[in-house]
Chain A
Amino acid sequence: MKQIAAGLKHTAQAIAAAMMAVMFLTFVLQIFIRYSARLEWLPDYVPFLEPTRFGWTLELCLVLWLWLVFWGNAFVVRESDHVRFDILYSRVSRRTRRIFVIVSGLCIAVGLAVSIEPTWAKFYILRLKKTATLSSLFGDGIRMRDLYVVYMLFLVAVSARYFWIVWQAFRHGVPDAPGPDERRPGE
């Protein structure tokens, strides 16, 4: 059981790392093509470098960013990685903290679970909407809803995760307050 969990965790991380790498390389490709496009003779020799073949780079990066955020929060981001306001949390007793975890966890778990159906219904119309440029990459069948599906994954996974956290806190209480040793870029 533990091995399966560890295996899944590694797979999820590897997928996130791959998205990051592909996004980065796509950007580099995009800059490269912009300059190679000025060399009009180039496609005659290397037909692959025909600039019109690369209209999809920008949108692919956006898709990867979207997936990175929601895939990441569903499976890769740890509780301690989140931005939170913990002044109150780190100063109350362990018993109160347990109540905090159960109340906030239940709100998140239930709230996200309740929104699953209406959100999917809202995305329903997107089954018709084509992407701007990605059909050259993924084929003509791709629709916006296929890209947004990651948000549903996120809702289900995070909701389940918080039910689990609440259950753990209910059964075993909460560990001592972690030191404020989170590292986050972006600031």
Chain B
Amino acid sequence: MSFQFLLCLGTLFLLAGIGAPIAYAILISSLVYLFAAGQDIGLAGKVLMDGLYSSFVLLAVPLFIVAANIMNAGTISDRLLQFCIALVGRFRGGLGHVNIVASLIFSGMSGSAVADAAGIGKIIIEMMTKSGHYTRGYAAAITAASATIGPIIPPSIPMVLYALVSNTSIGYLFLGGIVPGLLMGAVLMGLNIWLSHRRNFALEQAVPLVELPRVTVNAFPALLMPAILLYGIYGGVTTPTEAAAVAAFYALILAGLFYRALSLRKLYEILVESARSSAAVGIVIGGALILNYIVASENIPTLMAAQLVGLDVHPLAFLITVNILLLLLGCVLDATTIILVIIPLFIPTCRELGIDLVHFGVVAVVNCMIGLITPPYGILLFVINAVTRIPLNEIIREIWPFLGVLLAALAALILFPGLVLWLPRAFGYAG
């Protein structure tokens, strides 16, 4: 590790530590690195621009953001929720199940956990607290926990980012997320059953079964979306990036023409809001590209791989260690930063140790999503706190059991790679 690299890291930690935007902290520290190394500091801008300009997969990010915003604005989320209530609302802890099932379906349409929590999550928390059967903290905690499934089941923005840094196929990564996503839904539902019996949550008024067909028809076009997306990608109709555009287009048609819930004014606001979010995510991606360039020119991942291989680490031990490290980092860092900056450090070692990169990617993304609900820095907790005004300490008090079962699911995914790789292999993945 060279002196200029230490200087770069020092600047980065200092600036980011005192609250500068991560992207600008990276940009400035890379300028420091180039200057100290006697290189042209204009190189930073060139690397950044070339990197963004050549990464076609990244175009999925703004499009998925648009799609999620349209779905949240255009009553698509509400209709899905009505359907889920009719389906699973009749059981004990019913609205808890509704919450999880809605997240599972919604995650097949949007690639973002925050969009899930802020859209469908907000509505269901209101329902749960209004029913008087659940505490505010429980409603918020189960919503936060189930929102983590959003980016595991395809489509998924974090997986697009991982595909970018690891050069793995997005198609197989997306497929690899399906079983883990369902597994997470299953363990959360199991916990909800157990807790609602133990705490004796009252039963909801069941929606009569005769209502079910009407509600289903009402939500059917929205329910078709995951199927359209998956068929588009795996039927070879669209690339995963284009699927994002199809999702946004379909959501637009549904909300605008079919449900007539979207005015032009609203659409304009959605576009501005999406542009703003995409730009904020985009600049972090850009920063990560420069930082990865520096890390690569310092040869750090390869050195690390050589060290670890020399130590004769068992692949499983390596995976577990990396995951513990990621969980700890997830308590204080943002998922985008971890995926773009930290994870690339481990990829050469994974290759050397023979760890499958699709398996590693899915596990790492699940890990980072769990990081979204780990206190003290869990973006999902903050988002729910912001949109519902439920105090953070009430949410955090209830989050622990959910965190526990999600960690158990993560452990299962680490120990049994088949859970992740079965579906990609069934579709011809050679790994």
Contacts and interface: CB of A to CB of B under 8 A. Distances in A.
Interface stretch (B98-106, B210-218, B273-281, B308-316): B273-281
A73 B46 contact: no
B152 to A, nearest CB: 12
A123 B372 contact: no
A16 B276 contact: yes
A40 interface: no
B20 A21 contact: no
Interface stretch (B47-55, B163-171, B418-426): B47-55
Interface residues of B, number: 87
Given A21-B271, A88-B18, A148-B49, A81 B42 contact: no
Interface in A135-187: 147-148, 151, 155, 158, 179-187
B144 interface: no
Given A111-B27, A111-B31, A151-B48, A83 B21 contact: yes
B51 to A, nearest CB: 10
A65 B62 contact: yes
Contact of A115 (B31, B249, B334): B31
A143 B64 CA distance: 30
Interface in A117-132: 118-123
B183 to A, nearest CB: 20
A103 B28 CA distance: 13
A68 B278 CA distance: 8
Given A181-B385, A184-B379, A72 B275 contact: yes
Contact of A151 (B24, B49, B113, B274): B49
Interface stretch (B240-248, B296-304, B397-405): B240-248
B322 interface: no
Interface SS of chain B: helix
Given A81-B277, A179-B386, 17 more contacts: A24-B63, A28-B246, A62-B56, A62-B59, A65-B52, A68-B62, A76-B272, A77-B280, A86-B19, A89-B19, A101-B19, A104-B20, A108-B28, A118-B41, A151-B45, A185-B277, A187-B151
Interface residues of A, number: 71
A186 B336 contact: yes
Contact of A72 (B66, B151, B282): B282
A103 B18 contact: yes
Interface string B9-23: 001000111111111
Contacts of A184: 114, 277, 280-281, 379
B3 interface: no
B139 interface: no
A119 B336 contact: no
Contacts of A31: 238, 242, 245-246
A13 B271 CA distance: 9
A23 to B, nearest CB: 7
A84 B19 contact: yes
Nearest to B158: A187
B121 to A, nearest CB: 12
Given A187-B112, A187-B372, A84 B48 contact: no
A42 interface: no
Contacts of B195: none
B62 A20 contact: yes
